[in-house]
Structure 1
C-alpha cells in the first residue's frame, strides 16, 4: 500500500492515480511525437537537423531564450549543423544571406508569427500587429513621421540631450562629488573610470522622451534611472476615455525595459496554450509586471503631454496629426500604444549600439584615432556640437557605426515569419504554407563568404574593401522588407551625432585590455556593462 493512500479519496486509489498519471504522460508524449512522425512540413523528409528536444517541443527554444544568449546558441548550432537548423517543431533558422531577401521580402505574403503576441501591451502597435491590413493602415500613419525630411526636425532635441551629457561627463572628469557614485575608482592620468552603459541609457531615454512625449525623463540631469509611471488597469477603453486621475509613481525605466524584453522574448517562444499557465510562475510574473509598468510610463507621459497643448514639432505631434485612409486620427489608446512602441524602439537600440561602438573603439585604438582624425579634419576643435549636415558624409564615421551594428546588432535573433499560401523556396528547399522561417542577423553578420576570414574582429576598414553590393544585401541591423524598422532614418542620425560628438571631445580606453563586452539578450542583445577610462582630447 502506498504511504499516501490514506490521504487519497476512497474511490481514488494509488493504482488509479498511477493509471491516470500514465495516461497523461502518454497523451503529452503523443502530443509531441505524432506531429514529428507525420512531418506535415517535410522537415524530416528534407533532413533538416537540430537539437532533438527542439524537434519535439517549443519549450527548448523558450529555455534557450530565458538564458539570455539565444543568438549565440543558434549561431553555434549553425556552425555545427550548417545552413538549416530546426530550432522548434515548426521553426527553421536559415543562415544564408540570400535568404534574407526571400523570407522578409515585399510581396511574399509572409506574416509575423505568434511570437509577437507576447509583446502586446495596451493594444497592438505597429511592431506587434500581425494582421496585414491593420499593419498597412498603421504604417501609413506612422511612416511619414520618419521620412528623412521629418527626422531632420528632431535634430535640435538630440543635440540638447548630447550637450547635457557632455556637461555631466565634464563634471565626472572634474571630480564633482555629486557624481561620485558613478566613479569606479579615483581619477588617474586625467581619466575618469566609469560604466558608460548607464549614461548611454540615460541619454537614449531622455532623447526619446523629448521626442515622443514632449520632455525628457530627466535621467541625464539626475544621473539616475528613473521615470514616472501611471498605475493603471489593462483596459484600453479606459485609456481612451481618460476619465479618472491615475496614480503616478517613480520606477527604474531601464531595468523595466530589460525585464520586459527578456519576459516577452521567452514567452513568445512558448506554445500559445501554455502561456496563461507560464504567467503564474514567479519569473514570468516579474516580467508581466514589467510589461504593465512599461505601458504605464507611456500612459503617464502621454497624459501629461496632452493635458498641456503645445506647438512643438515632435513624434507625438506627428502621431496626432496622422490619419488613415478614411481620414481618421488615432484614438487615445492607439496613440499611447504607438508612443510606447517608439519609446521601446528608440531607447534600447540607441543605448546598446552607442555603448557597443564605444567598447570596440576603446578596444581598437587605431580605429579610434583614425575616426578622431576624420572628425578633427571636418570639424576642427570647435566647441559647438557638430550638426548632422557637417558629419553625414564622413565615410569613416559611417563605417565605424556600421561595423558596430554588424558585430553587435541589437536585433540579432531571427525574426519569425509564417510562409503564406503557395509556399516558399529558400536556398534550394521548398517550405509549404504554415512553415515558420527566420534568418538570424547574428549569424549572417559573421558569414565569412561576405565579411572575410575575420568576422569576429571589429574592423571598419572592411566597409571599403568588401563587395559593396554583397555587404548591403547581408547587412541587417534594422530588419528588411515591409516590416523593417520604420525609424531607421532617426536611429542612423542619432548614432552618427552621438559618436561624432563624443569621440571628437573624449578619448577612451578599456579598464582591462582583456575585457569582454558581456551581453544578455531579451528581444534585443544588450551589453551588461562597459567600464572605460575617459579623458578630454582638447583642453
Structure 2
C-alpha cells in the first residue's frame, strides 16, 4: 500500500498542517478581541502592546522601561495601554486618586521583592495590612528622632572622608560601591545601634559581605521570578562561587539581621539593662586623626527605657529594631520574629543602593557644571568653616541653594523612577466605584486592571518644569518680586515630585535619605575637588532602569582631590 493511500497517515498529515493554522487563527481571534472588544479597547496605545505583554517585557529586559513608556506619553497623551491588562498614566489628579484618596492595592509585581521568603511593608499588597505594618516603624523616621541619630550619620561619613583623604592622587573610585557601603553603615547604625564598618572594609579592598548581598538581592529577585521554581533550585546548585553568593544573598542578610535580633533581645532583658550598648559594637573611628563629626557629637549608652538609648546629654535616641520588637499587632500579638527580620531586611535593601545611586549622579553632574558647584561651595563653606565639623542638620536644612540642588537632583536622578503598579478595585471597594469601573481620564477601567504612573514622566512635564531635561537648581528658588506667585509655582512643582513614591505608601525612609544626602554632599564638597575619571561620560552614565535607576556602565568612577585650602602649606 502506498503512503498516499494510508488513511491514518493522511489524517496525521492533515492534522500536522491544520495545527499551526488553527493556532494562528486562535492568535488572530485573541488579538482582535483584545484590540476591538476588550474593556480597555478605547485606551490609546500601540496595537502590539494591546495584544501582548511582549512589548513591555522587551523594554524591561533592555533596562529602558521608563524611557519607552515616556515616549508613548509623548505620542498618545497622558493615558496609554502598555500591555493587555496594564495602563500607564501621566496625570497629577489621577495619581492623587490612585495613591492617596482611594489607596489602590499594589500589584503582584512587588512579591518579587520578598525578603526571607516573607512579606515586609513594601511587599504587603493590601493597603489596610500595609498601614498596620507601617505603624511599627513610622516614628523611627520622624525628623525629630533622626536628628538624634545625626552623630552616627556624621561619624560614618567622617570615616569615608578620611578614607578618601588617604587615597593616592588620581585614584578613580566607583562611588556606586563606596556610597553603598556608606549607606549601609548608616542604616545599620540607625537600625540596630551597631557599628558595621563597611567603609573600613572597603578601604582595605575587602568588600563587605553584607553590602555585596544587598547589591545582589535585586538581581536575585529578577532571576528567581523569571524561571520556574525547579529551575531556580538547579541554578543555586551550580558550582560557581559568585553565582552561589548571589543565590545566597537573601540568607546572608537574614543571618545578619537574626544575629542583631538575638543581641538586641539579650540587651532588653532585665539582666542586660546595665550593659552599655556600645560594649557590643565595633568603634566607628580608628584613625589617629580627629574625626569628621557633628558640632554636638554624642555617644550612646543603654537607658532604662525598653526601646530607647540615652546619650551623655540625657537625650534619648530610638533605633529601629527595638521599636519592631516592642510592636504589637491590633489583636495584641507581638510582631513575629520572622516579620521583624523581613522588615529590617526590606529597609536595608530599600535604603542602600538608592542613596548611592542618587549621590553618584549628583556628584557626576557637578563635574560637568562648575557654575552650580561654585554656588554650592560658596554656601557650604560659609556654613561649615571647619572642614572636619559637619553642622547640625537644622543648619543644613536652611541652606537654600543646597536644598534647590538636591530637589533638582531628585527630579532628574531620583533612584526610583519606574512604574508604581496598583490594581483597580472591585465595586465593593470603599472608593465606591460602580459596575462601570474606575474613570481614568474619560476611560472606564474595569476592576483587576493594573494602572500606574512613573516619576520619570511626572518629573519631566514641560508644562510644570520648563526645559525638563536641563539640570537647573534655580527653578526651585524664588524668581519674581511676587512672593505669592513664587509660592504657587514652587508648590505646583512640588506636587509633581515623587522621587520616593507618592501617596500613603511613600517611602518610609525618605527623611533618612535626605539627611544622609545633605551630610554626604557638604562633607565631600567642603573637602574635595571632584572630577570624572576617564571613561566616565554621558555614554557610561546614560540612565537605565530596573525599578531602580543606574548608569549604563554599572559604575560611576570619580576622582577626589583634596581642596587646595586643606593641603599643608
Candidates 114, 120, 139, aligned match of 1:120: 114
1:259 Cα deviation (Å)? 1.5
2:150 is matched with 155
Task: Spell out, residue by residue over 1:130-162, the C-alpha distance to the aligned partner (whole angstroms, 9 max, x if none).
Answer: 123321221122222222222223322211210
Contact 1:84 1:92 in 2 (8 A): yes
Alpha-carbon distance in structure 1 between the residues aligned to 2:10 and 2:232: 34
Q: How does 1:68-467 map onto structure 2 within 5 Å? A: 68-106=63-101, 108-121=102-115, 122-172=117-167, 175=168, 187=169, 191-223=170-202, 224=205, 226-228=207-209, 252-260=212-220, 262-263=222-223, 267=226, 293-308=248-263, 309-310=266-267, 311=302, 313-420=318-425, 421=427, 422=433, 423-452=437-466, 454-464=467-477, 465=479, 467=489
1:238 is matched with none
383 and 446 in structure 1: CA distance in 2 versus 1, 3 angstrom threshold: same
Q: How does 1:460-499 map onto structure 2 within 5 Å? A: 460-464=473-477, 465=479, 467-499=489-521
1:44 aligns with 2:23: no
TM-score, reference length from structure 2: 0.76
1:414 Cα deviation (Å)? 1.8
1:89 Cα deviation (Å)? 0.8
1:228 Cα deviation (Å)? 4.6
1:20 Cα deviation (Å)? 4.9
Alpha-carbon distance in structure 1 between the residues aligned to 2:492 and 2:234: 46
Alpha-carbon distance in structure 1 between the residues aligned to 2:53 and 2:243: 20
Cα-Cα RMSD:
3.2
Alpha-carbon distance in structure 2 between the residues aligned to 1:78 and 1:134: 33
Structure 1 counterpart SS, 2:499? coil
1:90 Cα deviation (Å)? 1.4
Alpha-carbon distance in structure 1 between the residues aligned to 2:233 and 2:12: 30
Structure 1 window deviating more from structure 2 (338-347 vs 318-327): it is 318-327
2:544 is matched with 520
Contact 2:188 2:196 in 1 (8 A): yes
Task: Spell out, residue by residue over 1:90-109, the C-alpha distance to the aligned partner (whole angstroms, 9 max, x if none).
Answer: 11111233432222123x14
Structure number with greater Rg is 2
Contact 2:103 2:504 in 1 (8 A): no
Alpha-carbon distance in structure 2 between the residues aligned to 1:12 and 1:281: 41
1:534 Cα deviation (Å)? 2.0
Structure 1 counterpart SS, 2:531? strand
62 and 21 in structure 1: CA distance in 2 versus 1, 3 angstrom threshold: same
Alpha-carbon distance in structure 2 between the residues aligned to 1:12 and 1:336: 62
Contact 1:518 1:529 in 2 (8 A): no
1:126 Cα deviation (Å)? 0.4
Candidates 34, 56, 60, aligned match of 2:55: 60
Contact 1:262 1:522 in 2 (8 A): no
2:286 is matched with none
Structure 2 counterpart SS, 1:509? strand
1:330 Cα deviation (Å)? 1.4
96 and 306 in structure 1: CA distance in 2 versus 1, 3 angstrom threshold: closer
Structure 1 counterpart SS, 2:88? strand
**Structure 2 residue runs without a partner (length 5+):** 1-8, 268-301, 303-308, 310-317, 428-432, 480-485
25 and 508 in structure 1: CA distance in 2 versus 1, 3 angstrom threshold: same
1:336 Cα deviation (Å)? 1.0
Alpha-carbon distance in structure 1 between the residues aligned to 2:29 and 2:49: 15
TM-score, reference length from structure 1: 0.80
1:205 Cα deviation (Å)? 2.0
305 and 126 in structure 1: CA distance in 2 versus 1, 3 angstrom threshold: same
**Structure 1 residue runs without a partner (length 5+):** 1-9, 176-186, 230-250, 268-273
Contact 1:386 1:501 in 2 (8 A): no
Contact 1:425 1:431 in 2 (8 A): yes
Alpha-carbon distance in structure 2 between the residues aligned to 1:350 and 1:208: 11
291 and 192 in structure 1: CA distance in 2 versus 1, 3 angstrom threshold: closer
Contact 1:195 1:532 in 2 (8 A): yes
1:532 Cα deviation (Å)? 2.3
Structure 1 window deviating more from structure 2 (27-36 vs 408-417): it is 27-36
Structure 1 window deviating more from structure 2 (424-433 vs 400-409): it is 424-433
1:468 Cα deviation (Å)? 0.9
- Aligned pair count reads 480
Contact 1:109 1:419 in 2 (8 A): no
